[in-house]
Structure 1
Amino acid sequence: MIENLGLFGALFLLIVLALRGGNIVFSALLASLVVIVTNPIALADSLNQYFTFGKLGAFSFAGKFFLLFACGAMFGRVMGESKAAASIAFALAEKLGAQRTLWIVTLACALLTYSGVVVFVVIFAIYPLGLKLIEQANIPKRLLVGAIALGSGTFTLTALPGTPSIQNVIASSALGTDLFAAPLLGIIATIIMFGAGMWYLEKQRKIAQANNEVFIDNQSRNNSPANKAKEINSEDLPHWTLALIPLFFVIVSILAPRILIAIYGTELTLGHDTFNQLIKFATTQLILWPSISLFIGSLVGLIIFKSVRTQALKVLGDGTQDSILPLINTAAVIGFGGVVTQTQGFGDFVQYLLTIDLPPLMSMFVSVSLSSAVVGSSTGGLQIFLQTMAPAYLEMGIPVDILHRIATIASGGVDSLPHCGAVVAMLTITGMTHKQAYKDIFVLTVMIPVAATLVIIGCAAIYF
Structure 2
Amino acid sequence: MLGVLAILLTLFSLMYFAYRGVTVLVLAPILAMIAALLSGEIPALHALSNIFMPAAAGYIQAYFPVFLAGAIFGKLMGVTGAATSIAHFISDKFGKKHAIAAVVVATSLLTYGGVSLFVVVFAMYPIGAMLLREADVPKRLLPAAIALGAFTFTMTAMPGSPQYLNTMPTVYFGTDIYAGPILGLIGSSIMFFGGLWWLNRRAAQAAAAGEGYGNHENEGLHELGDDLPNFGISATPIILVFVLNFIFTKIYFANPSIIASYEAAGSKINGTWPVVLGLSISIVFILISMRKFLVNTNKIVFDGAVGSLLPIFNTGSEVGYGGVIKSLAAFTTVKLGIVALAIPSIFKVAISTTLLAGIVGSSSGGTAIALEVLSKEFLSMGIDPQALHRIMLMASGGLDTLPHCGAVITLLSVCKLNHKESYFDIAAMTAVIPLIAVFVVSIFYLVTGIV
> What TM-score do the two structures reach when normalised by structure 2?
0.73
Show the counterpart of 1:253: 240
Residue type at the aligned position of 1:134: G
Provide the C-alpha distance between the structure 2 equivalents of 1:215 and 1:56, rounded to a whole number of angstroms.
48
**Pairing 1:410–2:395 present:** yes
Picking from 278, 284, 307, the partner of 1:296 is: 284
Q: Which deviates more from structure 2 when the two are superposed, residues 419-428 or residues 38-47?
A: 419-428
Gap change, CA 1:112 and 1:73, over 3 Å in 2: closer
For residue 188 of structure 1, report the CA deviation from its aligned partner. Answer: 3.2
Q: Per the alignment, in what secondary structure is the counterpart of residue 237 of structure 1?
A: coil
Q: Which deviates more from structure 2 when the two are superposed, residues 193-202 or residues 28-37?
A: 28-37
Q: Per the alignment, in what secondary structure is the counterpart of residue 434 of structure 2?
A: helix
Picking from 319, 333, 342, the partner of 1:357 is: 342
Counterparts in 2 of 1:387-426, with a 5 A limit? 387-394=375-382, 405-417=390-402
Show the counterpart of 1:39: 39
**Pairing 1:3–2:3 present:** yes
Provide the C-alpha distance between the structure 1 equivalents of 2:61 and 2:87, rounded to a whole number of angstroms.
37
**Pairing 1:134–2:134 present:** no
Q: Per the alignment, in what secondary structure is the counterpart of residue 381 of structure 2?
A: helix
Gap change, CA 1:62 and 1:248, over 3 Å in 2: same
Question: Deviation per CA, 1:413-462, whole angstroms, max 9, x where unpaired?
Answer: 23444566766776788788767765444332222121122223344454
Picking from 429, 437, 447, the partner of 1:452 is: 437
For residue 169 of structure 1, report the CA deviation from its aligned partner. Answer: 5.8
Residue type at the aligned position of 1:129: A
Gap change, CA 1:363 and 1:288, over 3 Å in 2: closer
Show the counterpart of 2:190: 192
Unaligned runs of 5+ in 1: 220-226, 269-280
Show the counterpart of 1:366: 351
Show the counterpart of 1:272: none
Gap change, CA 1:192 and 1:414, over 3 Å in 2: same
Q: Which deviates more from structure 2 when the two are superposed, residues 296-305 or residues 257-266?
A: 257-266
For residue 283 of structure 1, report the CA deviation from its aligned partner. Answer: 8.5
Gap change, CA 1:145 and 1:354, over 3 Å in 2: same
Provide the C-alpha distance between the structure 1 equivalents of 2:306 and 2:186, rounded to a whole number of angstroms.
42
Provide the C-alpha distance between the structure 1 equivalents of 2:443 and 2:13, rounded to a whole number of angstroms.
35
Provide the C-alpha distance between the structure 1 equivalents of 2:44 and 2:276, rounded to a whole number of angstroms.
34
Gap change, CA 1:21 and 1:420, over 3 Å in 2: closer
Contact 1:28 1:333 in 2 (8 A): yes
Q: How many positions carry a matched residue from both structures?
A: 427
Contact 1:177 1:401 in 2 (8 A): yes
Q: Per the alignment, in what secondary structure is the counterpart of residue 74 of structure 1?
A: helix
Contact 2:357 2:366 in 1 (8 A): yes
Residue type at the aligned position of 1:304: K
Q: CA RMSD in A?
A: 4.5
For residue 403 of structure 1, report the CA deviation from its aligned partner. Answer: 5.2
For residue 146 of structure 1, report the CA deviation from its aligned partner. Answer: 3.2
Gap change, CA 1:212 and 1:338, over 3 Å in 2: farther
Question: Deviation per CA, 1:134-155, whole angstroms, max 9, x where unpaired?
Answer: 2312367764443343334333
Contact 1:181 1:401 in 2 (8 A): yes
Provide the C-alpha distance between the structure 1 equivalents of 2:6 and 2:88, rounded to a whole number of angstroms.
52
Contact 1:52 1:58 in 2 (8 A): no
Show the counterpart of 2:261: none
Provide the C-alpha distance between the structure 1 equivalents of 2:410 and 2:277, rounded to a whole number of angstroms.
21
Show the counterpart of 1:17: 17
Provide the C-alpha distance between the structure 2 equivalents of 1:291 and 1:75, rounded to a whole number of angstroms.
11
Gap change, CA 1:175 and 1:255, over 3 Å in 2: closer
Gap change, CA 1:357 and 1:462, over 3 Å in 2: same
Question: Deviation per CA, 1:245-275, whole angstroms, max 9, x where unpaired?
Answer: 2x3342133233245468966559xxxxxxx
For residue 133 of structure 1, report the CA deviation from its aligned partner. Answer: 1.2
**Pairing 1:54–2:48 present:** no
Gap change, CA 1:388 and 1:415, over 3 Å in 2: farther
Q: Which deviates more from structure 2 when the two are superposed, residues 54-63 or residues 188-197?
A: 54-63
Contact 2:345 2:381 in 1 (8 A): yes
For residue 58 of structure 1, report the CA deviation from its aligned partner. Answer: 7.7
Gap change, CA 1:292 and 1:62, over 3 Å in 2: same
> What TM-score do the two structures reach when normalised by structure 1?
0.71
Provide the C-alpha distance between the structure 2 equivalents of 1:130 and 1:256, rounded to a whole number of angstroms.
24
Provide the C-alpha distance between the structure 1 equivalents of 2:36 and 2:24, rounded to a whole number of angstroms.
18
Contact 1:329 1:424 in 2 (8 A): no
Provide the C-alpha distance between the structure 1 equivalents of 2:15 and 2:218, rounded to a whole number of angstroms.
23
Contact 1:412 1:445 in 2 (8 A): yes
Show the counterpart of 1:74: 75
Contact 2:56 2:319 in 1 (8 A): no
For residue 71 of structure 1, report the CA deviation from its aligned partner. Answer: 0.9
Counterparts in 2 of 1:302-317, with a 5 A limit? 303-305=291-293, 308-309=294-295, 311-313=296-298, 315-316=300-301
For residue 218 of structure 1, report the CA deviation from its aligned partner. Answer: 7.3
Contact 2:323 2:369 in 1 (8 A): no
Residue type at the aligned position of 1:345: A
Contact 2:170 2:270 in 1 (8 A): no
Picking from 179, 200, 203, the partner of 1:202 is: 200
Gap change, CA 1:259 and 1:60, over 3 Å in 2: closer
Residue type at the aligned position of 1:201: L
Show the counterpart of 2:333: 348
Contact 1:18 1:419 in 2 (8 A): yes
Question: Deviation per CA, 1:2-21, whole angstroms, max 9, x where unpaired?
Answer: 32222222222232233344
Gap change, CA 1:27 and 1:284, over 3 Å in 2: closer
Contact 1:365 1:407 in 2 (8 A): yes
Contact 1:340 1:346 in 2 (8 A): yes
Aligned identity (percent) is 28
Contact 1:75 1:297 in 2 (8 A): no
Unaligned runs of 5+ in 2: 257-268
For residue 183 of structure 1, report the CA deviation from its aligned partner. Answer: 5.2
Provide the C-alpha distance between the structure 1 equivalents of 2:74 and 2:159, rounded to a whole number of angstroms.
30
